[in-house]
Structure 1
Amino acid sequence: MAAAPRRTHFAFTDRWGGVSTAPYAELNLGGAVGDDPDAVRANRAGTAARFGLDPARVVWMNQVHGCDVAVVDGPWGDRPVPEVDALVTTCPGLALAVLVADCTPVLLADPVASVAAAVHAGRAGMVAGVVPAAVHAMVERGADPARIQARTGPAICGRCYEVPEAMRAEIAAVEPAAGAVTSWGTPAIDVTAGVHAQLERLGVRDRQQSAVCTRESDDHFSYRRDRTTGRLAGYVWLD
């Protein structure tokens, strides 16, 4: 008899409700941006508590704008945090986290197969195929793209992500859906659109996209807008 589908949880943070001070005010969850480590630990603990999670059961990664995936079955403990841009797990109750401040946070789950993934999709990672790599790792562990639920969180939109024309052409040659134009008429990239196009080709139909542009929203951190700033997080876990 097949197991019942597990309940899936997706969560994205804004910048409020933490203890960090300017320029990281308030809920900075990034540990490598220059903020007080004690404040980051307090912010991570408080956020986990609000979601009903054990902070020790939230798994983070050392994001490097690549396409490598780590499959995890528990907290890192004393092991080094790996340099990857996607985490995949089949362990119920283990939360996976991704940090962003303009890049696209991608959360994936197949509740029937009990497989979840958190993906950091920046411009380079999207082009390199980090999202397909995560989906493939999920499929290898029993996930079905037709069952995968995909949620993308607050990220810089194509109206705001200005790039040189040569860069737009190079990226659009790999992922046409990512080519965009800013609201002031210059070349741009829409990473989230590129991610959703990749998911569509992979057969992932259950997709939702946040309407928030981090550069436009004062409620969210944006590296492009502020440079020195905090990091938002996306969390995914299965009961």
Structure 2
Amino acid sequence: MTSEPKNSEPKASQPTPQPEKPPRSRSAAVAIEVEALRLPGVTHAFFTRQGGVSEGFYASLNGGVGSSDDIVRVGENRRRMAAYLGVSASHLLGLYQIHSPDVITVETPWRDGERPRADAMVTATPGIALGVSSADCGPLLFADPQAGVVGAAHAGWKGAFTGVAEATLAAMEELGARREATTAVLGPTISREAYEVGPEFRERFMEQDAGNAAHFTPSGRDGHAMFDLPAYIVARLTLAGVGRVFDTSLCTYGDEKRFYSYRRTTHRGEGDYGRLIAAIALATR
């Protein structure tokens, strides 16, 4: 079932019980932290593919429960990510992503193995890490530290086109966040140089807004174009009135050492690919 943003306040009077947290383990190779999100009471990470236990296509920090990787290895990888963030493994949440604008408001962790169908999450509950997976699509992390609200969104072209970023902001506002006080950061995403699209794709965006022409440049093939997904996402966030918007300007396709890429895997005819995880949480007090 696809879930829409919920109009409900977090149950501050009934805080989520927190299991004992593992020691926090941190490595610059394992994750990228952005200075703009080093905010009071907020922890975050754009995890790379390094520092895990998966092998082959998935080497090594594959966090994708939906991949065909060994589930035990994926579980260990996610445990390591949770430790990095300073939360228990059961509190690093994920979604069954469907390339939609649908958002889940999280008040308590869901049951082990449960993955609601949506592409974004928001919370005002400390100790819950919101994690989205990607392998070329845009991972977005949001925070309003003054309001104590964070969010995470998976923004592929379909989700970005249909408004997943704006829907995430609206859900955060339901919890008390303000757009002008919110910081949004776009993590590693496929770059324009690696993202060739056909004429029908470009036409769809031109029908939405003629100004979208700025996000396309001619490619070497007749009728095709190179699409700048990061620039499109940043433009949508800016137009939505977000206070601070940042792009890491890191390309998943071009940096095989650090990132998985669906398109690179497809071009090589490989059987599957790993998933990167981007996550954000409010620190427990």
Tell me the TM-score range normalised by the shorter chain.
over 0.9
Paired position in structure 2 for 1:15: 49
Deviations 1:56-87 (CA, angstroms, capped at 9, x unpaired): 11111110001111101121115842100010
Mapped contact 2:90–2:112 kept (Cα < 8 A): no
Percent identical: 37
Mapped contact 1:121–1:191 kept (Cα < 8 A): no
Tell me the distance in 2 between the aligned counterparts of 1:94 and 1:78: 14
Q: Equivalent of 1:81, from 100, 115, 126?
A: 115
Paired position in structure 1 for 2:228: 190
1:52 equivalent to 2:96? Answer no
Tell me the distance in 2 between the aligned counterparts of 1:50 and 1:184: 43
Structure 2 residue matching 1:107: 3-state secondary structure: strand
Paired position in structure 2 for 1:199: 237
Task: Report how far residue 183 of structure 1 moved.
Answer: 6.7
Paired position in structure 2 for 1:232: 276
Larger radius of gyration: 2
Tell me the distance in 2 between the aligned counterparts of 1:178 and 1:84: 29
Mapped contact 1:168–1:179 kept (Cα < 8 A): no
Residue 201 to residue 93, structure 1, CA distance change in 2 (3 Å): same
Equivalent residue letter for 1:221: Y
Task: Report how far residue 47 of structure 1 moved.
Answer: 1.6
Paired position in structure 1 for 2:255: 217
Mapped contact 2:49–2:276 kept (Cα < 8 A): yes
Structure 1 residue matching 2:184: 3-state secondary structure: strand
Runs of 4+ that moved beyond 4 A: 182-186
Tell me the distance in 2 between the aligned counterparts of 1:127 and 1:191: 10
> Any unmatched runs of 5+ in structure 2?
1-38, 267-271
Mapped contact 2:216–2:225 kept (Cα < 8 A): yes
Tell me the distance in 2 between the aligned counterparts of 1:118 and 1:61: 11
Task: Report how far residue 177 of structure 1 moved.
Answer: 6.6
Q: What is the aligned residue count?
A: 235
Q: Equivalent of 2:192, from 158, 167, 170?
A: 158
> Any unmatched runs of 5+ in structure 1?
none
Q: Equivalent of 1:29, from 54, 63, 77?
A: 63
Mean CA deviation greater in 27-36 or 191-200:
191-200
Residue 181 to residue 148, structure 1, CA distance change in 2 (3 Å): same
Using structure 2 for the length normalisation, give the TM-score: 0.78
Residue 14 to residue 111, structure 1, CA distance change in 2 (3 Å): same
Tell me the distance in 1 between the aligned counterparts of 2:228 and 2:175: 30
Deviations 1:23-70 (CA, angstroms, capped at 9, x unpaired): 111110001111000000000001211232211111111100011111
Using structure 1 for the length normalisation, give the TM-score: 0.92
Task: Report how far residue 125 of structure 1 moved.
Answer: 0.5
Mapped contact 2:144–2:181 kept (Cα < 8 A): yes
Equivalent residue letter for 1:209: D
